[in-house]
Amino acid sequence: MKMETIEILCCPVCRGDLVLTSFKAVETEEGTTDIITGVLRCDACGINYPIAEGIPNLLPQEKKTDQ
């Protein structure tokens, strides 16, 4: 995922801004930064979204119920 992509992403639950909180990135030959792994965190609701192999997983987590 390109670092610039973060600017256009938002939280799918509340539409809040996402912030990259921890990550592993590489510099490309073109001089851009590619994020390989990391975590996007919503500033508004606090939900974390993982980034794996350069792909952000923006699917909301299912609510866990006690059974």
Dist CA 42 CA 38 (whole Å): 13
Contacts of 22 (CB under 8 A, 6+ apart): 38, 39
Q: Are 14 and 45 in contact (CB under 8 A)?
A: yes
> pLDDT tens digits, residue range 38-57?
999 999 999 999 999 999 99
> pLDDT tens digits, residue range 16-28?
999 999 899 999 8
- For residue 62, the model assigns a pLDDT of 63
Say whether pLDDT at 67 is over 50: no
Task: Sketch the domain layout of the chain as residue ranges.
Answer: 3-56
Q: Are 33 and 26 in contact (CB under 8 A)?
A: yes
